[in-house]
Amino acid sequence: MAKKLRAIHLDDEIYEKISAVYKIKNFRTISEFVENAIKEWFARDAGQEVSMFMSKQLVSLVENTIRMSEQRINRILFKIAVSDAEMKHVLAEYFSLDEGFLDDAHDRSVREVRQNNGILNLSQVMSEAREGEKE
């Protein structure tokens, strides 16, 4: 990419701030700092990945924070799916609760949620319960 000398007008206050930080931020020149800031602005404006402009430590911190949040959300969603499956089994039994039924329903629900990735519907559970009654 060819570079040409161009004039840009900046307020004195902004120029002083840039002059104070461009070397601290590991830029060789003020022009390099300003060019990088403009590229970052365009990337953010377009919704693109800005990790190429961020330090590796900051990118790593953000990625780890997101990963930890995803893990927490996944655990919570798993618990909700198990509770949902339990409720469906309770409804399928329709008050014919044997002793230990809820423990069995919980164990069965955990197994089914793991096998089906949490995708269960009430009609499927009810038909399985009816088949179990016939046996």
Residues 45 and 76 in one domain: no
Q: Is residue 108 part of a domain?
A: yes
Q: What is the pLDDT of residue 52?
A: 60
Cβ–Cβ < 8 Å for 126, 92: yes
Q: How confident is the model at residue 133 (pLDDT cuts 50, 70, 90)?
A: low
pLDDT 10s digits, 99-128? 677 778 788 888 888 887 777 777 777 777
Cβ–Cβ < 8 Å for 44, 28: no
CA dihedral 46, 47, 53, 55 (to 10 degrees): 170
How many domains would you assign to the chain?
2
- Judge whether residue 25 has pLDDT over 90: no
Query: Which residues 6+ apart lie within 8 Å of 59 measured at CB?
Result: 51
The two tokens of residue 53 are: 């402009």
3-state secondary structure of 106: helix
pLDDT 10s digits, 68-88? 999 999 988 998 888 888 887
Percent of the chain with pLDDT over 70: 84
As a residue count, the chain comes to: 135
**52 vs 15, which has greater pLDDT?**
15
- Judge whether residue 50 has pLDDT over 60: no
Q: Is residue 42 part of a domain?
A: yes
Q: How confident is the model at residue 12 (pLDDT cuts 50, 70, 90)?
A: very high
Residues 90 and 35 in one domain: no
Q: Please tell me the pTM assigned to this model.
A: 0.36
Domain extent for 94:
67-134
